[in-house]
Structure 1
Amino acid sequence: MDTLHLDQQNSGLSGTSRRAFLKGSGLLLGFALVGGTTSTVFAASASQVTEEEVTAPFAPNGFIRIDPKGIVTLVMPMVEMGQGTYTSLAMLLAEELEVDLDQVQVQHAPPNNALYANAILQSQTTGLSSSVRAFWTPLRQAGAVGRTLMIAAAAKEWGADPATCKAAHGVVTDVSGSKRLSYGELADAAAKLPVPAADSVKLKDPKDFTLIGTPAKRVDSPMKVDGRAIYGIDTKLPGMRVAALAISPVFGGKPKTFDEKAALAVKGVHQVVTTDEAVAVVADHLGAAKKGLEAAAIQWEDGPNAKVNSADIVKQLEEKSRQPGAVARNEGDAEKALSAAAERIDAIYQVPFLAHATMEPMNCTVHMQKDSCDVWVGTQVPTLTQMVLEGVTGLPKEAIRIHNHLLGGGFGRRLEPDGTVLAVKIAKQVEGPVKVVWSREEDIQHDMYRPYYYDRLSAGLDADGKPVAWTHRIAGSSIFARYVPQLFVNGLDPDAVEGAAEPPYALPNIHVDYVQVEPPGVPTAFWRGVGPTHNIFVVESFMDELARAAKQDPVAYRKALLGNNPRALGVLTLAAEKAGWGPPLPSGQGRGVSVAFVFGSYVAQVAEVEVAADGAVKVKRIVCALDCGMSVNPNTIEAQMEGGSIFGLTAVLHGAITIKDGRVEQSNFDNYLPMRIDEVPVIETHLIKSAEAPGGIGEVPTAIVSAAVTNAIFAATGKRIRTLPVDPEMLKTST
């Protein structure tokens, strides 16, 4: 059976009465929220039933619905953007509820922080590789509450002690096994029982898990393979029109003039709409809208950022990086230890702006009416989006309905509500629903970019090559200062220093600080792996430099510094063993290593590369060792290690956004290259069994792969990569 049910009309409905729902058409799912809890849920065909005929299913908490037919629905608090969340979180619920995974359907949760907030991020936000970590306990508790009530209902029916009854596969049986009742048969009775507190129910001992830790097929795969899955860009509504848009090519620019008459002359075009930063052409379909946009021949007023260039941004970073910053960590006396060291090593590392370039470009459908605003979109932040739209529309939160969808890639881009805000500004000028679709060029050239970082490092070695001092200064834009200003305290951005302030190694004298440097006009935001995507590259590359300066093997050198960190030592040892570390490779080939603790998981990678005479780099093999605590779905973990590594490889080998005259120079996949299939290496994943609580997965390999690859390039060529992406010109063999 299909285990994923997604109705694009099913969210954002909490402020509407049950009777109002039944006046609509199709399958509608409604929630009546009372005192912060979901008290009723119903599913009905409005054209066939009346309000009185609707039977509320068993719903003991915000996550579970079991109807009299035995259909189990998980109201999914997080969004699915390819990372496997819908499967892994369903497994958590199913394990404790005692149902099979294929008995669970998944439904998007409406915006509701009270019910569905991610405890790590303190809001209904999908990001920071936190979904399993945040809901590891709440979803198991929700399932355990449901199971407890089903058993209690059956025991009451039989006049038995609940302790003598057990549940399995959605059925409760008595001690003899002769009596059995399905969850569907028990739903009505269970709904009448008092609901125990979530923290009072007993959870399974991990040794008794039957589902968690076993490989499970993705519940969303069948619908994605055969095309039934609905993404935001697939939204279709009666009377809907489609808008193509052009945003000022210069950051902060505005439309100056355009030929409205020429645009309206295109068959199918109905309207030309402007906002402060953009022009949109509204038509019957996207083809007509794009032709109308071209015919409009827009002229732009460039504004104050027309002379901004990448070289100037780097110069600004270089200058600012010479100044002391906000202290992230200071132990011992690093400057004194540096001055007394037998050898001093200094280095400057740089990583560029990066775009998200999700496969599904930015899009949003809006139906703006006098007293309501309906939004169909794929977003990682439904509650934040709803809150922001209160200010844009002037409507109360209850009148703003967010219909969330599967995401065709997020990577942090859809943590930002800017695309939805722009769509609403356009929709306010259009009669009826309008779908706003960004072209690939608009998507890449008006992204919100991973910051450009400029890092200064120094280390001191003693006579044996052991580090006695370590200093690291990070200069770059602060995402926290804009996105969560309450966490930007005393000039310190916790994300910008993550992976740098707490390296896994024993370093007796360490000083890490941060200098906020905002590039003029260039918007910055979280990018898959966030701060660690740059810091692990820098820290692990510099650690490799220290090992080479000490004339020691890079793996052995790291092991000596990880003696007090057994989990980090464990992944490093396993990765080196599985990669066959040690024996030399042919000329032009090399192995590199990287190790880190990020997003609650310990990980090590060994990359094997080959560098051709013309400087072309071929990554042949990547071996990953991972200690992520208890694993929920090994299949998902392996897929995430593969996909995240490839995403990171795209950045290390190809990725860079550059600015010229206030404009992004890259525009599509011909000049902002993703990894091609013939470039993808063999990727192996080896899991360390652990009883620790689960760590994150999705961003872990993206953060660590770059250093493994560039360290391997050094092993193959003797040339150190300190600026990304890799420049083949510097790797050419001299003739």
Structure 2
Amino acid sequence: MLVAASPANKPSGLSRRNLLAGAFVGGFMFAFQLPVRAANEPTQPPDTTEGKFAPNAFIRIDTTGKTTLVMPQVEMGQGIYTAIAMILAEELDADYAQITLQHAPPSDKLYGNPIFIIQATGGSTSVRAFWKPLRNAGATARAMLVQAAAEQWQVEPANCTASNGQVMHAASGRKLSYGELCDAAGKLTPPKDVALKDPKDFSVIGKPLKRFDTPDKVNGKTIYGIDAMVPGMTFATLAQCPVFGGKLAKVDDRAAKKIPGVRQIVVLDDLVAVVGDHMWAARSGLEALDITWDEGPNAKISSKDIWAHLRAASETDGVIAKSVGDIAKGLATGERIDASYEMPFLAHATMEPLNCTVHFKGDSCEVWTGTQIMSRVQSEAAKAAGLPIDKVTVNQHMIGGGFGRRLEPDMVVAAVRIAKQVNGPVKVVWTREEDIQHDIYRPVYRDNISATLSNGKVVGFKYKIAGSAVIARWLPPAFQKGIDIDAIDSAADQPYDFPHFQCEYVRVEPPAVPTGFWRGVGPNNNVFAIESFMDELARKAGKDPVVFRRELLGKAPRMLAALNLAAEKANWGQPLPARVGRGVSIQPTFDTSIATVVEAEIDSQGEIRLRQVNVAVDTGIAVNPDTIMAQIEGGIVFGLTAALYGDITIEKGRVQQSNFHDYRMLRIDQMPKINVHLIKSGEAPGGIGECGVIGGPPALRNAIYAATGVALRRMPIDRDAIAERKKS
């Protein structure tokens, strides 16, 4: 329930733990409970609709009034369980004190993401995809409960209201709880086209409510996939061929078998796993193996080869994704400027390493993991197990970082293959080295841009992207006419009003290296290239970068407002010390308009000190402003980390980086002050989980450009290039 925190009802003895857990915020207490169960605890009764009011796939109400909300998307740190619960509860008018949540089971039919069609969490789609379906689900259930009460009282439903898990008839003073009405409501036919609340009447949506999963994360009760424990379970870790596509030649396991606690060596065609009584035994046994690999045809591939391949392909004609005006005419008018920008491979390096627990029983298989693709994991596990899909059970857990890595089922498939050789349940955990060196990487990209300026204004703008088509592999029906919709995101739909514009895409798959989604993917490439180039055009035109952008945003008022606010909050135009610069970028990503200003200092050796970041965000209706701000802050850290340090390189067919010493993260003493400014909007919600990642790198690049005059055109930042001794 929501409780006003007035002096009269202020709780006494507020503990540090309660404070950390955020039980009280903005005058409200959010009392949702999330059932958490380690896999080795007694099994809970199966979720059935028997004896419950279950008007749709998302809502269950029993006769006691307990309301269970089924979460179609997975919680991986982005706060989606709280946001989804708020949306459902808003239209349902539920009693918060009696609400619990549960993970949705695998089902594309019931829980498919409306954007992807399949059951998947990613692409900053959770709120924007489920905004209408969840509101409709809550409003339909409420209407049925009201109808049930009205029929019992023999009054018009229009004369009844619902609030806090009750239906009331003001004229007679009568009221019934949802629990008392659930049997009668369950016999009604769900109505069509139920009216949704006017946003001005929202009582939950828009409140900065603290996430209800925080308390159990603070006190250690939350069960992530890596925490799941099954009676009789053993532990395993594995080694795969360090060269992409390589196979196992032979293995000498005599030393490994002598290590106390080592139970079994599992040898497959492309990996070796050591099974032990505990992780230390498995890890020690793995290190004691003498493995000979058949490195295969990719053993000579290097980053140099990959970039040569990509650069050559980028000079070929692409498929036209969007065309406005006459690009040939546009590029023949005025002064022409050409540039190319490049983005490297990146690994995900999630805080929770890859893991999966499997119990293969011959005629059935049970899996415990945290995944962004519940139904696909079930189907791929079934294939690996050689079983019908209905013989595979997948237990979903919270995820300690996804970022797109857990949109892939490879870790589950590998765990099932290992478990088939083991008697009893086995937890397979990847070491950090295996995780980083066998990732599904953010693609390398090269972008060629040509533009013309006449009288300080852009006449023609041609943008060509060359890189992987992740969508073609991951969701083939969405790859149409040679266009990868993710690769061109925030490029074909850029917000600037160019008289003559063309966006092209060239599909180029890097030799050997597997590529996939990485928190932003196409947009974090395209926004970097376009926004970096915009600063170079502004300088050529002799204009301030903010002013230059303003003149091109006449048809994008929300973006213009975000730009103006970010510039104002960052004190744009105010003098700065030598070698300190401010850089700006804007982005139309995931139906959200964002402007980012980074202020940075660059010393004479090219080292960078981040001073502050200001971000203005218009994401439509803000379901939970507190979560939006947290996501932007975390995204800024993620993106600036990539800009400063992110680079996966290949030599002799193998990834050279292995852990956080050579694939490092931004550290706490390097953190700038981050100010997030939300713009109030009545538009439908946009995406937010990846947005902060995208704007930081180009804004930092442009701050360096302003401070030093060095126009960087690839990431990560080359400190030697911006050192004073090499200043251009």
TM over 0.5: yes
**Structure 1 counterpart of 2:286:** 293
Deviation, 1:151, is: 2.1
Matching residue of 1:557 = 548
Q: Secondary structure at the match of 2:47?
A: strand
Equivalent residues in 2 for 1:200-211, closer than 5 Å: 200-211=193-204
Structure-2 separation of matches of 1:181 and 1:503? 53
Query: What amino acid maps onto 1:65 in structure 2?
Result: R
Matches within 5 A, 1:187-198: 187-191=182-186, 193-197=187-191
Which amino acid in 2 is paired with 1:5?
A: P
Q: Distance in 2 between matches of 1:605 and 1:367?
A: 48
- Whether 1:361 and 2:360 are equivalent positions in the alignment is no
Within 5 Å, give how 1:149-548 maps onto structure 2. Answer: 149-176=144-171, 178-191=173-186, 193-197=187-191, 199-341=192-334, 343-462=335-454, 464-548=455-539
What's the offset of the Cα at 1:165? 2.0
Instruction: Identify which range, 78-87 or 311-320, moves more after superposition.
Output: 311-320
Which moves more between the two structures, 418-427 or 146-155?
Answer: 146-155
**Alignment check: 8 A CA contact 1:232 1:363 kept:** yes
Q: 2:724 aligns with which of 702, 711, 733?
A: 733
**Equivalent residue, structure 2, for 1:573:** 564
**Contact 1:91–1:101 at 8 Å: present in 2 too?**
no
Q: Matches of 2:227 and 2:250 in 1, distance apart?
A: 32
- 1:276 deviates by 2.4
TM-score by structure 2 length?
0.93
1:610 maps to 2:601: yes
In the alignment, which residue of structure 2 is the partner of 1:19? Answer: none
Are the counterparts in 1 of residues 32 and 98 from structure 2 also a CA contact under 8 Å? Answer: no
Aligned residue number for residue 18 of structure 1:
none
Letter in 2 for 1:6: V
Counterpart AA for 1:113: D
Q: What secondary structure sits across from 1:626 in the alignment?
A: strand
Q: How many residues align?
A: 696
- For 1:15, the equivalent position in structure 2 comes to none
| Contact 2:592/2:686, CA 8 A, preserved across alignment | yes
Per mean C-alpha deviation after superposition, the further-off stretch among 311-320 and 169-178 is 169-178
Distance in 1 of aligned mates of 2:662 and 2:97: 43
Question: Is the 2:32–2:96 Cα contact (8 Å) retained in structure 1?
Answer: no
The Cα offsets for residues 419-458 of structure 1, whole Å up to 9 and x where unpaired, read as 1111111111111111110001101110000000111111
- More displaced stretch, 298-307 vs 478-487: 478-487
CA distance in 2, matches of 1:298, 1:330: 54
Question: Residues 589 and 716 of structure 1 are in contact (CA less than 8 Å); yes or no, is this contact kept in structure 2?
Answer: yes
Q: CA deviation at 1:486?
A: 2.5
Q: 1:218 and 1:492 mapped to 2: Cα distance?
A: 38
Q: Which letter does structure 2 place at the counterpart of 1:512? A: C
Indicate the residue corresponding to 1:28 in structure 2. 45
RMSD: 1.6
C-alpha distance in 2 between matches for 1:104 and 1:730: 56
Give the SS at the match of 1:258.
Answer: strand
Distance 2:355 2:552 in 1: 48
The worse-fitting range, judged by mean Cα deviation, of 631-640 and 264-273 is: 264-273
Per-residue deviation, 1:148: 1.8
Report whether the alignment pairs 1:645 with 2:627: no
- The Cα of 1:65 is off from its aligned counterpart by 1.2
State how far apart, in whole Å, the 2-side matches of 1:325 and 1:162 are: 59
Q: Distance in 2 between matches of 1:167 and 1:333?
A: 58
8 Å CA contact 1:572–1:625 kept in 2: the answer is yes
Displacement of 1:9 in angstroms is 5.9
Query: Do the aligned residues in 2 keep the contact of 1:78 with 1:125 (CA within 8 Å)?
Result: yes
Per the alignment, residue 3 of structure 1 pairs with 33
Tell me how far apart the structure 1 counterparts of residues 355 and 384 of structure 2 sit (CA, whole Å).
18
Say whether the 8 Å CA contact 1:8–1:403 is kept in structure 2.
no
Shift of 1:214: 1.1
* Greater Cα shift, 582-591 or 78-87: 582-591
Q: Does the CA-based 8 Å contact 2:36-2:221 persist in structure 1? A: no
CA offset at residue 509 of structure 1?
1.4
Cα distance in 2 between the residues matched to 1:481 and 1:163: 50
Is 1:6–1:108's contact at 8 Å kept on the other side of the alignment?
Answer: no
Following superposition of structure 1 onto structure 2, how do residues 706-725 of structure 1 map, counting pairs within 5 Å? 706-725=697-716
Following the alignment from structure 2 to structure 1, what is the Cα–Cα distance between the partners of residues 485 and 699? Answer: 24
Which of 628, 631, 642 does residue 622 from structure 2 map onto? 631
**Which runs of 5 or more structure 1 residues have no equivalent in the other structure?**
11-23, 32-39, 42-55
**For residue 367 of structure 1, what is the amino acid of its counterpart?**
H
- Structure-to-structure mapping, 1:59-74, within 5 angstroms: 59-74=54-69
Q: How far apart in 1 are the matches of 2:626 and 2:194?
A: 29
Matched, 1:95 2:87: no
Letter paired with 1:224:
K
- Cα distance in 2 between the residues matched to 1:271 and 1:375: 20
Q: Percent identity?
A: 53
1:631-657 superposed Cα distances (whole Å, 9 cap, x missing partner): 100001100110111111111111110
In structure 2, list runs of 5 or more residues that go unmatched.
Answer: 1-30
Distance across 2 between alignment mates of 1:89 and 1:215: 14
Contact 1:609 1:618 in 2 (8 A): yes
